[in-house]
Amino acid sequence: MSGMVERLQALAGEDTEVCKERCRVIDLASLNLFAVEYGLTRREAEIAALRERVLPARYMRNLGTVGFDGQIALLEATVGVVGAGGLGGWIIEGLARMGAGRLVVVDSDVFGENNLNRQAICREDNLGQPKVEAAQQRVAAVNAAVEVIAHQVRLNGPQMMVELLTGCDVLVDALDSLPTRLDLQRAARELKVPLVHGAIAGYVGQVMTIFPDDGGLLRLYGEREVPQQGIEVQWGNPAATPMMVASWQIAEVVKLLARRGEPLRCRMLFMDSEGGTVDLLQV
Amino acid sequence: MQIQVKLYAMLRRYGPPLPRGAALPLEVAGGTTVVKVLQRLGIPDHMPLVSMINTRVCKTDDVLSEGDTLSLFPPVAGG
C-alpha cells in the first residue's frame, strides 16, 4: 500500500530507547488512526508497525523478554484456552495483555457467587453471565487487537476438542476435571501442538508443558482408573493458587510462541505455598 | 536396603518433621513394594495419590530397589 511505511514513521514518535534497544514507539490513538486510514484491524496495524520496527507503546515492557519478532509471533498466534474459570480467567487476561492475537476460549459454565473469590473475570455485576462471553468483553476492554473466539459448550471427548481447537498453535489446560484433561492431551496429540497443563488444589499447584510425543498426564494418571477430581474437593481453591499457576502457564505459552527460554517439558513444577516449597518432578 | 521417600503437600504429615524438601531415608527389606512403604508410613489405602520411583510413574505393587527415591504426591485437578 502506498506510503504506508512513511505514514507509520510520521505517526511514530522520535527514536527512543526501550529495554536497551533503540526504536520508535507509536501510541494507541495514532495506531487506531493508522488502522482506520488503511482499513486494517488493530491486530493487522500492530503487526505492520512491528515489521517496520515501530513498537506499539502498549508492548514497551514486553520488548525485553520477547523482542520484535516474538511480539509479531504472539500477535499472529492462536491459543486455545480450555476452561475460563480460576486458571482460565487469569490466563486469558495475561495472554491478552501480552498480545496473543487470537484466543479460542471454551467453557460451558456461567459465573456463580462461589467464583468471586478467585476468578479474574467474575464480578458481582456479571453473575449468571456465560464465562466465555464475559471473557470476550474483558479482552475487548483490555486489548482490542486480540480476538476471542468463544465456544459455550460442554466438552465431550477428544474428537469434539479436535474440532473446536483445530488451528490453535498451543493449547492451555484450565480445566477442572482429570478425565477431561486426559482427553485434552489426546486432542493435543492429534492436533500435534503443545499443551500447557496447570492444575490447582488448596495451597498446591502444578504446571507442565506437554509436547505431542511426551507422556505427560497420560503417563501420570493414565494407568489406573482416574478419579473425576483431586484433593481440591477437600481443600477448595483460594485466590492466590490459581493466580500463581496461571502466571506460570502464561509464561510457558509466551515462551513457546516467542521461541524463548526452555519450557517445563518432562518436568512438572509442583508448588506447595503452605510449606513454601517448589519442586521439579521428572515426568 | 535403603530408599528415600519424598512426601509432597498434605502427604507430608505421614512422615516425621523434616527440613522443607528433604527426603526421608527409610531402611526396608529387599523386595519391598510401594504398598508396603505406604502401609509403614500409615497412609490409608483408599487415599488417592500418584507414586513415582525415581522418574518413573509406578504402581503400588512395584518393587523398590536399593537407592530408589519414591515420590508420593496427591492428584491435583482443580482449575
pLDDT tens digit sequence for A168-199: 999 999 999 999 999 999 999 999 999 999 99
- Whether residue A70 lies inside any domain: the answer is no
CATH no. for residue B66? 3.10.20.30
Question: Residues near A10 by Cβ (< 8 Å), separated by ≥ 6?
Answer: none
Give percent of chain A with pLDDT exceeding 90: 87
Residue B39 — very low, low, confident or very high, per pLDDT cuts 50/70/90? very high
Q: How many domains does chain B have?
A: 1
- pLDDT score for B27: 96
Chain A: closest CA distance from residue B24 (Å): 15
Residue closest to A160 by CA, chosen among A138, A124, A186: A186
Find the Cα–Cα–Cα–Cα dihedral A180, A185, A190, A195, rounded to 10°: 130
Residue A1 — very low, low, confident or very high, per pLDDT cuts 50/70/90? low
Same domain for A32 and A118?
no
Question: Which pLDDT tens digit goes with each residue over A68-111?
Answer: 999 999 999 999 999 999 999 999 999 999 999 999 999 999 99
Higher pLDDT, A147 or A1: A147
Would you state the cell numbers that stand for residue A158, as one nine-digit string? 477428544
Residue A136 DSSP class: H
The three-class DSSP label of residue A269 is strand
Higher pLDDT, A18 or A143: A143
Same domain for A91 and A227?
yes
| Residues of chain B with a CB closer than 8 angstroms to some CB in chain A | 6, 8-10, 12, 20-21, 48, 50, 52, 54-55, 57, 59, 71, 73-79
Average pLDDT over residues A158-172: 98
Residue of chain A nearest B73, judged by CA positions: A270
Same domain for A19 and A105?
no
ipTM: 0.88
pLDDT above 80 (res A276)? yes
Sign of CA dihedral A55, A61, A67, A73: negative
Helical axes A4-11 vs A28-37, angle rounded to 10°: 160
Residue A41, domain extent: 4-65
**Domain final position from A22, A41, A65:** A65
Asked whether the beta carbons of residue A230 and residue B59 sit closer than 8 angstroms, the reply is no
Residue B43, domain extent: 2-73
- Whether residue B47 lies inside any domain: the answer is yes
Same domain for A263 and A209?
yes
Helical axes A63-76 vs A42-51, angle rounded to 10°: 130
- Whether residue B40 lies inside any domain: the answer is yes
CA distance linking residue A96 with residue B23, whole number of Å = 41
Question: Residues near A269 by Cβ (< 8 Å), separated by ≥ 6?
Answer: A206, A207, A208, A248, A278, A279, A280
CATH no. for residue A85? 3.40.50.720
Q: Which residue has the cell 518393587?
A: B63
Question: Which pLDDT tens digit goes with each residue over A209-241?
Answer: 999 999 999 999 876 667 777 788 888 899 999
Residue B78 DSSP class: B
- Whether residue A71 lies inside any domain: the answer is no
Q: How many domains does chain A have?
A: 2
Helical axes A4-11 vs A42-51, angle rounded to 10°: 90
Asked whether the beta carbons of residue A229 and residue B78 sit closer than 8 angstroms, the reply is yes
- Whether residue B78 lies inside any domain: the answer is no
- Whether residue B25 lies inside any domain: the answer is yes
CA distance linking residue A214 with residue A221, whole number of Å = 13
Which residue in A176, A202, A272 is closest to B79 by CB distance? A176
Check: CB of residue A222 under 8 Å from CB of residue A183: no
- pLDDT score for B46: 82
Other CB atoms within 10 Å distance of the CB of residue A30? 21
Residue A273 — very low, low, confident or very high, per pLDDT cuts 50/70/90? very high
- Whether residue B79 lies inside any domain: the answer is no
- pLDDT score for A109: 97
Average per-residue pLDDT for chain B: 92
Asked whether the beta carbons of residue A177 and residue B77 sit closer than 8 angstroms, the reply is yes
- Whether residue A72 lies inside any domain: the answer is no
Average pLDDT over residues A124-135: 98
